[in-house]
Amino acid sequence: MQIYLPIAEMSVNLFFLVGIGAAIGFLSGLFGVGGGFLLTPLLIFSGVPAPVAVSSVTGQVVAASTSGALSYWRRGGIDLQLAGFLVLGGVVGSFVGVWIFSLLRQVGQLDLAISMGYLIFLGFIGTVMLIEAIRTLIRNRSGAARTRRKPGQHTWFQGLPLRMRFKQSRLYLSVIPIIAIGAVIGVIGSLLGIGGGFILVPALVYLLRIPASIVVGTSLLHVLAVMAVTCVLHAVQSQSVDALLAFSLMVGSVAGAQFGASAGQFLRGDQLRALLALLVLGVAARFGASVLIDPADPFSMAVLRFGETI
C-alpha cells in the first residue's frame, strides 16, 4: 500500500513505515532508550531526505515520550524544578540548533553535517558504552567488587556559583551545569533528530548525582518539552516536518515497544548495554561508509525557488 509523503516528496509503502516504527519501538523497549538516534539514520538509509528525516522524527519522539512522562509524573518521579532548568537550556539549544540546521541547508552542507555528526557522535558514545559494558561483564565474572564513591565526595560541578536546593532530588548544586547540559542536548537533538535521553540520563547520574528514582522521569519531561519546541521550529522555519511520516512511525513504535519491554526482561543490564553499544557502533560505521564511498550518482538536480542561487 503506497502512500505519498508530501514534504519528503516521495511514495513509500505504508507497511514499510509502520514496520520501521515497530522495529525501533521494539529496540526502544528492549534497551530503554528513545530510539531517535536509530530511527533517523534508518529513514535516511531508506531514501528519505535527511532534513525531512531529522525534522519528522522529532514529532515521533514527542509522542513516544508523552506516555512515559505522564506515568512518572503520576508516581512523583519527576523533579519539576530541576526539569524546568533543563528545559530552559534545552529550548535555547533548540533555537541555536535549528538556526545552524537552516544555515547548513542554505549552503548545501546539511547532509554531510548530519552524516559526520552521527559518525563522530555515535562512534564516541558507542565506544564508551562498549568499554563500560565489557568492564562490567569482566567484573561480574571475576566477582570483583565495584568501587563506590565515598560519602561527601563531590565533583567540581558542585562548586560552581548560583547554587540552589532541589528538594525532591535532595541536592544542593549550581544551576549552571544543569542549563548547560540541557542546552547541549537541545542543539544535538535539533541537528540530528534525537531525543538525547541516552546521553542525558548518564550525564545527570554521573555528573550531577541525580537520584535514579528521579532521573528517568525528569529526562523524559525534558525530551518531551524540548522536542516539541524543536518540532514546531522545524515546521515553521524549515518546513521539513512530514506529519504523515511521523504518524506512521508512531503507530508502529507504540506496538513494538510493548514487545521490546517484555523481551528485555530475559537479558541482564550489562548484556543489554553491550548489545546497544554494538548497535550504535554499527550505525556509526554505516554513516562512515556513506561518507567515504563514492555515490553511485555524483550529480543531482533540484528545482530552485524564486530568489535562490546555487
Whether 162 contacts 172, CB under 8 Å:
no
pLDDT for 202: 75
What is the chain's mean pLDDT, rounded? 75
136 alpha-carbon distance from chain centroid: 24
Cell 521550529 belongs to residue:
233
Those residues whose C-beta lies under 8 Å from the C-beta of residue 56, and which sit 6 or more positions away, are 7, 8, 43, 48, 193, 240, 241, 242, 243, 245, 246, 249
Residues 5-32: tens digit of each pLDDT? 877 778 888 888 888 877 777 766 565 5
Residue 151: which pLDDT band, with cuts at 50, 70 and 90? very low
Q: What is the mean pLDDT of residues 169-195?
A: 83
Q: What is the mean pLDDT of residues 187-199?
A: 78
| The 3-state secondary structure of the chain, one letter per residue | CEEEECCCCEEEEHHHHHHHHHHHHHHHHHHCCCCHHHHHHHHHHCCCCHHHHHHHHHHHHHHHHHHHHHHHHHCCCCCHHHHHHHHHHHHHHHHHHHHHHHHHHHCCCHHHHHHHHHHHHHHHHHHHHHHHHHHHHHHHHHCCCCCCCCCCCCCHHHHCCCEEEECCCCEEEEHHHHHHHHHHHHHHHHHHCCCCHHHHHHHHHHCCCCCHHHHHHHHHHHHHHHHHHHHHHHHHHHCCCCHHHHHHHHHHHHHHHHHHHHHHHHCCHHHHHHHHHHHHHHHHHHHHHHHHCCCCCCCCCCCCCCCCCC
Residue 116: which pLDDT band, with cuts at 50, 70 and 90? confident
Q: What is the mean pLDDT of residues 190-200?
A: 76
**Amino acid identity, position 72:** Y
pLDDT, greater one: 80 or 269: 80
Whether the pLDDT of residue 195 is over 80: the answer is no
Q: What is the mean pLDDT of residues 50-55?
A: 83
pLDDT for 68: 66
Closest by Cα among 27, 24, 100 to 57: 24
Residues 261-303: tens digit of each pLDDT? 566 556 565 566 677 777 778 877 877 777 666 555 555 555 5
Those residues whose C-beta lies under 8 Å from the C-beta of residue 145, and which sit 6 or more positions away, are none
How many angstroms separate the CA atoms of 139 and 6, rounded?
A: 52
What is the model's pTM?
Answer: 0.73
Residues 216-236: tens digit of each pLDDT? 778 878 888 888 888 888 888
Residue 152: which pLDDT band, with cuts at 50, 70 and 90? very low
Most confident of 130-134, 194-198, 254-258: 130-134
| Structural domain boundaries in the chain | 2-140+162-291
| Of 56-60, 168-172, 238-242, 263-267, minimum mean pLDDT range | 263-267
Residue 239: which pLDDT band, with cuts at 50, 70 and 90? confident
pLDDT for 251: 78
pLDDT for 61: 76
Those residues whose C-beta lies under 8 Å from the C-beta of residue 221, and which sit 6 or more positions away, are 69, 72, 73, 78, 80, 83, 87
Whether the pLDDT of residue 145 is over 60: the answer is no
Those residues whose C-beta lies under 8 Å from the C-beta of residue 223, and which sit 6 or more positions away, are 34, 61, 65, 189, 195, 196, 197, 200
